[in-house]
Amino acid sequence: MSDEARPPLGSWARLYVLVVVIAVAIMMALYWFTARWNIPLSAS
């Protein structure tokens, strides 16, 4: 089997989905983090 035929995680689609899922998870975590910890300067 050639190197080209062996994508990580078995298929490229899975790896792409993993990248997207991690990116979305980071953004959701940052959304929570901002809502939990940040108060904009104009808020007071």
- Among residues 34, 16, 14, 37, the alpha carbon closest in space to that of 26 is found at 34
CB of 26 to other proteins, least distance (A): 6
Least Å distance, CB 10 to other proteins, is 13
Contacting positions for other proteins (CB under 8 A)? 3-4, 6-8, 12, 15-16, 19-20, 22-23, 26-27, 30-31, 33-34, 36-41, 43-44
Measured CA to CA, the distance from residue 19 to residue 28 in angstroms comes to 14
Minimum Å gap between C-beta 4 and other proteins is 5
What's the DSSP call for residue 11? S
Please give the structure tokens belonging to residue 22: 């991690």
